[in-house]
A and B are shown apart, each in its own frame.
Chain A
Amino acid sequence: MFRASGYLIFLFLLCCSSLLYAHPHVFIDTTVTVRFDDKGIVGFQITWLFDEMFSSMIIGDFEENRDGTFSKREIENIREGAFSNLKNFHYFTYISVNGKDCSFLSVTEFTAAIHGERLIYQFFIPCRISLEEGEKTVKVAAYDETFYCDIAFADNDPVSLQNSEGYTVRYEIVQNKKNPIYYGQVFPFETRLYIRK
């Protein structure tokens, strides 16, 4: 009797826990460009390449003259209508230096473009990191904590460096198994940079 009721309860839990099942509707390929100056890192330029379905929805909504490119006004509309709210979700980017979080309040240089059939967002995260002493480990994690979007680093050139002469940089891209999100279902991707002057 209890075995059978256990079966019923198990089924019930399965139904409810499936409510929590990882289920993205948008897929993003991301790349990071690390910008340096003579003191260290100035910030990170993030590029998002969206999947075709989401792209066609945003392009359909915001590209008014159907000429295949976004005008300045259309880009501003996109920024307001389909980007600025991401402030509440940390712009899907989390930066840490030697284990300590590097917080940022806003992003700059937002632009949007159409690449083939797909939508691209690009923006800059100002985040000063001094590299005068020793080696530092900088982590840039990319994830949507609601998992409405599934974000992965692009296969080609996921990380590039700007003005990095004078620095030795090693990097790797890993899935952080120690920091799963969304009820422990998803391991976000992060870039780990090991930098010294």
Chain B
Amino acid sequence: MTRRTIVIIIGIFFIFSLAAFNASAQNPFISEKGKENEKKVERVFQFPPFVQRVITKISSVQRDLNRRMSKLGREIREGTNRWAYILLALIAFFYGLIHAIGPGHGKAITFSYFLTEDRAFLKGVMFGVLIAFTQVIMALVVVLTIYFALQRAFLASFESFSRLIKLVSAGLIVGLGIWLLLNSLGYIPGFHSHHDSKKKGTVSLSFLAVAISIGIIPCPGAVILILFTINLGILKFGVWLALTMALGMMITISAVGILTLVAKDILSKTLKGKHLSGLFQQWAQRAGSFLIMIVGIFILLGNL
């Protein structure tokens, strides 16, 4: 193993450990005190100035979007603006797109999974669809259950439920990651073998399982939006809004899947000879499975 490879692997673990800290990001109105070592890491790992400027700008855009959505929601309730429905739907779509760039929407899993997949850009889209819509449907189910069936304090109930579902999701993902890894190493037959994936257009069980395992974590952004529409008395429209938001999220997540496949394709093409190319595919599959397992472990650690 070259020194460069070792450095890269260490770097990847470091980045993942940062991800672990963020995987535990919770509502400060309810959750425990922030951990000391997290704060130290925060101070050490800083984005460069030009990135900071971009992010500061995006932060103020988010604040503005939030305000506009609230205003349009009220206008719908009062019936004072006939364009409000369309405008709000457009903003929800855009909001979903930007929102999915943020933490917790399955991008690391998507990247890892598509390392194990063969080129089929449609699969990238489908994966994004699965994750985004599962997250939003889950958000709908959770909000409606807590609000109507349980009728208990929403804030506390949601935080507890969210933590529980993250643990379940993490467990599933770690399990799937281990299974995929053992399969890629040839120790066990799998529901996702390298041969199967050569048939373009087929979607393996592992494809569905991984996407849904990460998708069951409800998106807090969608939850707040849906709750808001309930309080405004426009829940039916709220459901449509949530689905529109899912559409935006899907674009971002699918983009990650497709970009991963493109990168793999470029890499694969630079490798001359069928033998090297096959070896590369094999190692990519192993790396991807391993990363899926690692992501799961970090979500687990962040929520225990």
Contacts and interface: CB of A to CB of B under 8 A. Distances in A.
Nearest to B228: A53
B263 A51 contact: no
A89 B263 contact: no
Contacts of B8: 9
A73 interface: no
Contacts of B23: 19
Given A4-B267, A186-B56, A56 B47 contact: no
Contacts of A9: 8
Contacts of A76: none
Secondary structure at chain B's binding surface: helix, strand, loop or mixed?
helix
B200 interface: no
A117 B69 CA distance: 14
Interface in B203-235: 220-221, 224-225, 227-228, 231-232
B241 to A, nearest CB: 12
A187 B26 CA distance: 21
Contact of B55 (A51, A52, A57, A186): A186
Contacts of A16: 15-16, 18-19, 108
B155 A22 contact: no
Interface in A1-57: 1, 4-5, 7-9, 11-13, 15-25, 27, 51-54, 56-57
Interface stretch (B38-46, B80-88, B122-130, B175-183): B38-46
A52 B72 CA distance: 11
Interface in B6-27: 8, 12, 15-16, 18-19, 22-23, 25-27
Contacts of B63: 24, 27, 150, 152
Contact of A53 (B18, B107, B225, B266): B225
Q: Which of B12, B25, B156 has the most C-beta atoms of chain A within 10 angstroms of its own C-beta?
A: B25
A141 to B, nearest CB: 15
Interface stretch (B29-37, B166-174, B190-198, B242-250): B29-37
B62 interface: yes
A85 B29 contact: yes
Given A1-B270, A57-B227, A21 B264 contact: no
Interface stretch (A101-109, A132-140, A154-162, A175-183): A175-183
Interface residues of A, number: 56
A70 to B, nearest CB: 15
A54 B224 contact: yes
B34 A25 contact: no
A11 B42 contact: no
A183 B156 contact: no
Contact of A4 (B103, B228, B270): B270
A12 B12 contact: yes
Interface in A163-187: 175, 180-187
B70 interface: yes
A170 B196 CA distance: 72
B154 interface: yes
B32 A88 contact: yes
Contacts of A180: 46, 52
7 contacts: A21-B103, A22-B102, A52-B74, A57-B155, A61-B154, A81-B155, A82-B155
Interface of A: 1, 4-5, 7-9, 11-13, 15-25, 27, 51-54, 56-62, 81-83, 85-86, 88-89, 117, 144-146, 148-150, 152, 175, 180-187
Given A17-B15, A18-B103, 19 more contacts: A7-B266, A15-B107, A16-B18, A19-B19, A20-B18, A22-B59, A52-B70, A53-B69, A53-B224, A53-B225, A56-B228, A57-B227, A57-B228, A62-B153, A117-B74, A145-B42, A148-B25, A150-B62, A150-B63
Interface of B: 8, 12, 15-16, 18-19, 22-23, 25-34, 39, 42, 45-47, 51-52, 55-56, 58-59, 62-63, 66-67, 69-70, 73-74, 99, 101-104, 107-108, 110-111, 153-156, 220-221, 224-225, 227-228, 231-232, 256, 259-260, 263-264, 266-267, 270-271
Q: Which 9 A-B residue pairings sit nearest by Cβ, starting from the closest? A: A184-B46, A23-B102, A52-B70, A88-B33, A56-B231, A4-B267, A8-B263, A16-B15, A19-B103
